[in-house]
């Protein structure tokens, strides 16, 4: 069943400070973009910081729609697989952004154009590209996309983009190496140019590495005092946690049968299931005791601006899911800077 859009029944004045993250840079708009599988708007923040204008957004998760509205003052369109949703996309825009779900393809044969992707959410991206022909595409996915389904998934994705006329560049990048964000988060980024519209696209290069100067203390909020985050004696493995978690400059995890200390002194990869408890949840020690991150701290480890907020109406588990599913904003922004340089002819 297709999911309907979230519709807010309160007035915006009582619900949110609208346009919370609009045009953070104060720059005039220099390019337009659509935001697919938008989540809570990580791509949008990065693009707006560089002067971009969002002309369409789509996100099927109702709780994510609420967070998106709370910060941008508009509700994303819902199910992108529906013809009526695609019909709302403008005829012309400069960039398509999408952090799309990774799905295996069931088609046995390849090189059949985007028909090979039918039945997957990437098909909808390909369909939009075929219809709209934007000059630039920026996609994000898990680092194992190239090996997913024994490499078949990425083979179809890349060949489909090339069949649609795009030159395809891709790279796995870690936030701690490329964005000065203290999180060990590796993701693949796929940048595509239409050479008919961007004549110098061969000059594109992914950003260079930069030194990590920020620490976990730049993301941890020392004043956090939420009892829901604190581990108590009634919780499983409490004694082991107390014994092992002693360093305030490190982040730990319970790994089924033992406590793991992150020796790099950065945050391990944040995941969508952090709110469900269990193993692999990042843990720290503070004045209040052993605790997990707050959802706001998770946003900090994703490089979101301080002004970005979750609405009170959604659950803690939904907040963790949204933070874990998001992109690292400064990393996306650094890639976009290189893309804009090519688009503007400066490279």
Q: Where are the domains of the chain?
A: 12-211+325-343, 222-293
If one compares 101 and 65, the residue with the highest pLDDT of the two is 65
Which stretch of 1-10, 200-209, 277-286 has the lowest confidence by average pLDDT? 1-10
Mean pLDDT of 113-131: 79
For residue 141 the two structure tokens come to 């996915």
Q: Is the pLDDT of residue 279 over 80?
A: no
Q: Is the pLDDT of residue 111 over 70?
A: no
**φ, ψ of residue 333 in degrees (nearest 5):** -65, -40
Q: What is the secondary structure of 41-106 as a DSSP string?
A: THHHHHHHHTTEEEEEEB---HHHHHHHHHHHSSPPB--TTSHHHHTTS-S--SEEEE-PPP----
Which stretch of 33-47, 80-94, 111-125 has the lowest confidence by average pLDDT? 111-125
pLDDT of amino acid 29: 52
pLDDT of amino acid 256: 75
User: Cα separation of 264 and 153, whole Å?
Assistant: 32
Confidence band, pLDDT 50/70/90 cuts, at residue 106: low
Confidence band, pLDDT 50/70/90 cuts, at residue 145: confident
Give the active site residues: 102
HSE on the CB side for 103, CA within 13 Å?
A: 15
pLDDT of amino acid 82: 95
Helix and strand tally (H, E) in the chain?
11, 10
Strand order in the sheet with 31-36: 52-57, 31-36, 95-98, 136-142, 186-193, 167-174
Give tens-digit pLDDT for 244-265: 999 999 999 887 778 899 889 9
Q: Is the pLDDT of residue 1 over 50?
A: no
Q: What is the DSSP letter of 135?
A: S
Q: Is the pLDDT of residue 216 over 60?
A: yes
What mean pLDDT value characterizes the chain?
Answer: 87
pLDDT of amino acid 277: 65
If one compares 101 and 42, the residue with the highest pLDDT of the two is 42
Mean pLDDT of 208-237: 91
Q: Is the pLDDT of residue 181 over 50?
A: yes
Contact (Cβ atoms closer than 8 angstroms) between residue 281 and residue 254: yes
CATH H-level superfamily of 12-211+325-343: Vaccinia Virus protein VP39 (3.40.50.150)
Confidence band, pLDDT 50/70/90 cuts, at residue 12: very low
């Amino acid at each position: 069943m297709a999911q309907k859009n979230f519709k807010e029944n309160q007035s915006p004045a009582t619900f949110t400070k609208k346009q919370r993250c609009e045009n953070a840079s104060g720059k005039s708009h220099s390019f337009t973009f659509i935001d697919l599988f938008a989540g809570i708007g990580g791509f949008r923040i990065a693009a707006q910081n560089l002067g971009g204008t969002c002309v369409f957004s789509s996100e099927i998760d109702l709780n994510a729609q609420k967070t998106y509205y709370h910060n941008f003052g508009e509700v994303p369109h819902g199910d992108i697989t529906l013809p009526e949703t695609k019909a709302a996309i403008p005829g012309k825009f400069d960039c398509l952004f999408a952090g799309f779900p990774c799905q295996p393809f069931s088609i046995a044969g390849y090189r059949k154009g985007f028909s090979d992707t039918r039945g997957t959410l990437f098909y909808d991206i390909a369909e939009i590209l075929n219809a709209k022909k934007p000059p630039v595409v920026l996609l994000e996915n898990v680092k194992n996309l190239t090996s997913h389904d024994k490499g078949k998934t990425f083979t179809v994705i890349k060949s489909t983009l090339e069949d649609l006329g795009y030159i395809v560049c891709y790279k796995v990048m870690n936030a701690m190496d490329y964005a000065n964000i203290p999180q060990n988060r590796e993701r693949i980024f796929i940048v595509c140019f239409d050479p008919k519209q961007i004549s110098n696209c061969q000059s594109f290069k992914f950003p260079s590495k930069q030194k990590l100067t920020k620490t976990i203390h730049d993301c941890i909020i020392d004043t956090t005092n939420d009892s829901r985050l604190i581990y108590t004696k009634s919780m499983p493995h409490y004694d082991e946690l107390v014994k092992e978690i002693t360093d305030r400059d490190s982040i730990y995890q319970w790994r089924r049968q033992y406590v793991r200390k992150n020796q790099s002194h950065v945050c391990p990869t944040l995941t969508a299931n952090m709110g469900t408890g269990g193993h692999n949840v990042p843990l720290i020690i503070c004045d209040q005791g052993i605790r997990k991150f707050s959802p706001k701290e998770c946003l900090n480890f994703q490089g979101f601006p301080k002004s970005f907020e979750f609405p009170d109406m959604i659950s803690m588990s939904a907040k963790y899911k949204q933070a874990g599913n998001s992109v690292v904003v400064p990393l996306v922004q650094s890639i976009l800077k290189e893309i804009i340089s090519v688009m503007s002819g400066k490279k």
